Amino acid sequence: MEPGLIWILGGLLLLLAELAMPGIFLLWIGVAAIGTGALLLLTPLSFAAVAMAFLVLLGGGIWLSLRLRRSAPASVLNTPASGLVGRSGLLMPLGEAAGPGLRVRIGDSEWQARLPLEIRAPERPLRVRVEAVEGTVLIVRPE
């Protein structure tokens, strides 16, 4: 069998393995193997040249994946800010809260809360709207 076809077959098997076990990082090894096989089909190369072509293609693929990963926007999926900013809740007075400090009840859960500096803690429950999230603390403002 032609060495270029063996490289391509090996690369396709690695791509199938990546589909079966995602996250193993076999994608770039498979792509480099397919590229090396295609290069071998076009021109005969020595063993050292084949190894160098494979390593260069593998390095280029890894560099490209790292570059694309850096340029992707940060995901806000499954973060407190994604579902809480803009929602209304009930700010509990200091004596009635389940924990220390200000707490806001949104739905069936309570969160630590912080008011802007110009607003003081309420004497009775107060309707508030979530403006931002810092860690697990909600920044709220009265509605």
Closest C-alpha among 94, 114, 107, 14 to residue 58: 14
Query: What pLDDT, on a 0 to 100 scale, did the predictor assign at position 50?
Result: 95
Query: What pLDDT, on a 0 to 100 scale, did the predictor assign at position 75?
Result: 63
Helix axes 47-71, 26-42, angle to 10 degrees: 140
- pTM comes to 0.53
Query: What pLDDT, on a 0 to 100 scale, did the predictor assign at position 76?
Result: 61
Q: What whole-number distance in Å separates Cα of residue 120 and Cα of residue 22? A: 51
Structure-block tokens of residue 120: 């003081």
Question: For 104-127, how does the pLDDT look when each residue is reduced to its tens digit (9 = 90+)?
Answer: 888 888 888 888 766 766 777 889
Q: What whole-number distance in Å separates Cα of residue 105 and Cα of residue 124? A: 13
Task: Report whether 45 contacts 3 (CB < 8 A).
Answer: no
What integer is the mean pLDDT of 57-74? Answer: 83
The mean-pLDDT minimum among 36-45, 54-63, 131-140 falls in 131-140
Domain residue spans of the chain? 3-71, 80-142
Q: What whole-number distance in Å separates Cα of residue 30 and Cα of residue 50? A: 15
The mean-pLDDT minimum among 10-14, 65-69, 97-101 falls in 97-101
Question: For 3-51, how does the pLDDT look when each residue is reduced to its tens digit (9 = 90+)?
Answer: 999 999 999 999 999 999 887 688 999 999 999 999 999 999 999 999 9
Structure-block tokens of residue 17: 């393995």
- CATH architecture of the domain formed by 80-142: Beta Barrel (2.40)
Alpha helices in the chain (DSSP H): 3-20, 26-42, 47-71, 80-84
Residue 133 forms beta bridges with which residues? 138
Query: What pLDDT, on a 0 to 100 scale, did the predictor assign at position 36?
Result: 96
